[in-house]
Amino acid sequence: MTSTLIIQAILAGVTNGLTYALVGIGVAAIFKGTRVINVMQGEFSVAGAIITVILLNQIHLPYWLAIACGALSGAAIGALIDILFVRYMMAHGANQQSFILLTIGIAITMSASVLFFVGRSGYMLPAFGGDNVFIVFNAVIRTHAVWLIGIALGITLGLRLFYHHTTIGLAMMATSIDADGAATTGINVNRMRTLTFALGGLLGAIAGILATPLISVDYTLGVTLTLKGFAAAILGGLTNPLGAAVGGVTLGLVEALSIVSISSGYKDVISYGILIAIMIFMPNGMLGRVGRRGG
């Protein structure tokens, strides 16, 4: 293993890791706001990416507009899931099991829809900055990866500001901590939950759109992204966007270094093994905040 190879692995790890982080931030945002773990977060990414691809290639929208529509469609799907199902189930006192099954059902439906409408092939989007690369200590990183890293970090910090310094963000937090209390102060609890799901969908779609120039998107990608995003969120303690970012990068690095040192076939075995171990042995994540329930 040369040092160039290690640096190359680290760069790849950080890039993939921040993709997982974006998915994980979405999982964390929805859990923070509704106490529901969204088992279909990765499907938001696939949907956002596929819609962007279609708008760009079939309808020939300008790239920036296609991206905006793709990202917003993620938010719309998120809001619809809340309005159509979650609201009804919350009102009927559904248990956690039902929400797990609901989101699994939505995941199956969305992945099957992608398979049915666009087929088995993988799709890619053009990279920001084309094929240009930066050279870092003899290792290569694509301009798009640098964009991805920058945007992911920006979103992480932006969310932190959103939750602590905006009225809507504070209202979302209040709703998740004490729904009845929030309602008495005049917060529309249902709307906050819809907005939370929309935010989760938006983050998921952005993750998918940013990742698609680097990895090809097909109907099977959703489950992978969900699990890796969930691992990132768990590592970060689940309710903390900053934590999910740290968790995602950690996971990405472990994965990249295990590819270099062991074998690419065992990549998933290692990263999912770590996920299970973390859930069992570090229930509050690496940053050690209390706040997770149910394990």
Partner 1 sequence: MAGRIAPYVVLLIVWTVLPFILPRNITDLLVFAGIYAIAGFGVSLLLGHCGIVNLAQAVFYGVGAYATAYLTTELGYPSIAGVLVGAVISVVIALFIGWPILRLTSYFLALATLALSIIGNALFYEWDWLTQGTLGIGGIPKLNIGSFALDTPMRFYYLAWTVAILCLVLARNLTNSRTGLMLRAMRDAPDAAVSLGVNLQWLRTRVFMLSALFGSIAGSLFAHYSSFVSVQSFNVDKSFSFLLIAVLGGARAPWGAIIGALFITILPEYLSRLGDFHQILFGVALICIVVFLPTGLAGGLEMLWDRLLRLGPKPKLKQAAHAE
* Binding footprint of partner 1 on the chain (CB under 8 A): 37, 39, 85, 88-89, 94-98, 100-102, 104-113, 115-116, 223-224, 227, 230, 234, 265-266, 268-269, 272-273, 275-276, 279-280, 294-295
Q: Which is nearer to partner 1, 52 or 111 (CB)?
A: 111
Spatial contact of 10 and 138, defined as CB atoms under 8 Å apart: no
Cα gap 159→161, rounded to integer Å: 5
Nearer to partner 1, 43 or 209 (CB): 43
Nearer to partner 1 (CB atom), residue 144 or residue 218: 218
> Least separation, in Å, of the C-beta of 115 and partner 1?
5
Smaller CB separation from partner 1, 60 or 92: 92
Q: How far is the CB of 278 from partner 1 (least distance, A)?
A: 10
CB 274 within 8 A of CB 254: yes
- 3 state SS of 141: strand
Q: Nearer to partner 1 by C-beta: 1 or 280?
A: 280
Secondary structure in 3-state letters for 149-199: HHHHHHHHHHHHHHHHHCHHHHHHHHHHHCHHHHHHCCCCHHHHHHHHHHH
Smallest distance from the beta carbon of 157 to partner 1, in angstroms?
Answer: 27
Q: Is 143 exposed, middle or buried (0-12, 13-18, 19+ CB in 10 A)?
A: middle
Q: Round to whole Å and give the CA distance between 13 and 267.
A: 12
Q: For the CB of residue 109, give the shortest distance to partner 1 in the complex, in Å.
A: 3
Q: Write down the least CB distance from residue 231 to partner 1, Å.
A: 8
